[in-house]
Structure 1
Amino acid sequence: MIVKWWWALKTNKSALWSKVITGIHNLYNKPANVLSKRTIAGVWNNIAGVMNDLSQAGISFRDILKKNVKNGNDTLFWMDAWCDGEPLKDKLPELYQLEKRKSCKVSQRVQAGGYSSEWRSPPTMDEQSHSLQLLYEIIGEHRPSPDPDSWICPLSGDGIFLVEAIRSKLDNIEPTTN
């Protein structure tokens, strides 16, 4: 049930309580799986801790919440797992190091005409060139649209978050033996 608060925070950004939590924990331009500062005690840190509990059970954040990128205005290009199930900063660390604006949005990097970059220095090494080619392949599949970005729950067939879907996933996990 606690995970439902994550869903509500991500899908109901206009609600006053969502704005307060986002402000208190400075969640602006933070990856989607970050919920709170570790130094602030309270209920929201407990809610953030549930992801660790689920991770220990073999369920990742991306199993529960997945970004459906449309216009890219609400998705961090490097830090959110918006393509291929892994943040681009982890998939392509050589390019992430060259990026000037690490908190840029998808809409600032991917337009209808292609990819727009802001490098500290141009990618030159073979490894960077290979990563750049891979980046083009990954983002080449994304077609910006005027619709806003949204969240879906991959556990349910229709993308809507249901507590029962997580419960079912937990019930179907094989216990580990030591």
Structure 2
Amino acid sequence: MLSHFRHKDIDLQSLCPIRVGDGTRTSFWHDVWWDDMPLSASFPRTYVLDLHKHVSVKYRLSMGLGVHTLRRGSRGGVEQEQWNKFIGLLQDFHLRPVPDRLGWVNDVSDTFSISSARKLLDGITLSNGGISTHWNNWVLIKINVLIWRIRLSSIPTRERLSYRGVMVDSILCHVCSSTVETVEYIFANCSELISL
């Protein structure tokens, strides 16, 4: 199911960021919980030096921020620069007494709902055709549907069938055989059909 969305360039994971509470269920280095990428990608040199690569946020923070958590101390340059940024970032971070959870950026309450997900996916995947649909209750439903399909140009005319690879004898109007059979031509311009 998720691969279907990835093929349509819909990244559901970015819409559900991790909200760290007590830090027990979030991977310190590999989950995206700070900024927009894992800490292993933000601080690659510090990650390589760290002795504890597969631990939770809670466990890593409980160890403290000293160099004793590294294979060796930094050797200056980029390593030292990343280490200083890393320490600065974590000194201001505090765990809270609530469980870790996923957020939902598509709703102001930050809580996932089927309704908000459906609205998001419909907005991305469904084409509205640029026009709103107004149903007339005094007309039969099949007439409403026909008018709706005409407005969206989704009637299977000979031109559309040929474009989709269906073998047709000719793409000319089957009534008058003078012009290409399009939705507009059938319902507005074909002199033979207008006279009916």
TM-score range, shorter chain: 0.5 to 0.7
Give the Cα–Cα distance (whole angstroms) in 2 for the partners of residues 165 and 137 of structure 1.
37
TM-score, structure 1 length as denominator? Answer: 0.59
1:104 Cα deviation from its structure 2 partner? 1.2
1:85 Cα deviation from its structure 2 partner? 2.0
Alignment-mate amino acid for residue 139 of structure 1: L
Conserved? CA contact 1:63–1:153, under 8 Å? no
**SS state at 2:54 partner:** coil
Alignment-mate amino acid for residue 162 of structure 1: S
Structure 1 unmatched runs, 5+:
1-49
2:96 maps to 145
* Aligned length, in residue pairs: 125
1:137 Cα deviation from its structure 2 partner? 3.1
Which structure's CA Rg is the greater one?
Answer: 2
1:150 Cα deviation from its structure 2 partner? 2.0
Judging changes above 3 Å, is the alpha-carbon distance between structure 1 residues 115 and 52 closer, same or farther for their aligned structure 2 residues? farther
Conserved? CA contact 1:66–1:153, under 8 Å? yes
2:44 maps to 93
Judging changes above 3 Å, is the alpha-carbon distance between structure 1 residues 156 and 61 closer, same or farther for their aligned structure 2 residues? same
Give the Cα–Cα distance (whole angstroms) in 1 for the partners of residues 3 and 91 of structure 2.
33
Conserved? CA contact 1:63–1:155, under 8 Å? no
1:125 Cα deviation from its structure 2 partner? 3.5
1:106 Cα deviation from its structure 2 partner? 0.8
Give the Cα–Cα distance (whole angstroms) in 2 for the partners of residues 56 and 134 of structure 1.
36
1:162 maps to 113
2:80 maps to 129
1:165 Cα deviation from its structure 2 partner? 2.3
Alignment-mate amino acid for residue 75 of structure 2: T
Judging changes above 3 Å, is the alpha-carbon distance between structure 1 residues 52 and 174 closer, same or farther for their aligned structure 2 residues? closer
1:17 maps to none
Conserved? CA contact 2:20–2:99, under 8 Å? yes
1:116 Cα deviation from its structure 2 partner? 5.1
TM-score, structure 2 length as denominator? Answer: 0.54
| Identical-residue share of aligned pairs (%) | 22
Judging changes above 3 Å, is the alpha-carbon distance between structure 1 residues 55 and 141 closer, same or farther for their aligned structure 2 residues? farther
**SS state at 1:166 partner:** helix
2:32 maps to 81
Q: Please provide the CA RMSD for this pair.
A: 2.6
Residues 17-166 of structure 1 aligned to structure 2 (within 5 Å): 50-111=1-62, 115=65, 118-166=69-117
1:89 Cα deviation from its structure 2 partner? 0.8
Structure 2 unmatched runs, 5+:
127-196
Spell out, residue by residue over 1:49-103, the C-alpha distance to the aligned partner (whole angstroms, 9 max, x if none): x333333433324433221112211111100111112100111111111122211
**SS state at 1:81 partner:** coil
Give the Cα–Cα distance (whole angstroms) in 2 for the partners of residues 93 and 171 of structure 1.
38
Alignment-mate amino acid for residue 115 of structure 1: L
Conserved? CA contact 2:52–2:60, under 8 Å? no
**SS state at 1:90 partner:** helix
Give the Cα–Cα distance (whole angstroms) in 1 for the partners of residues 2 and 92 of structure 2.
30
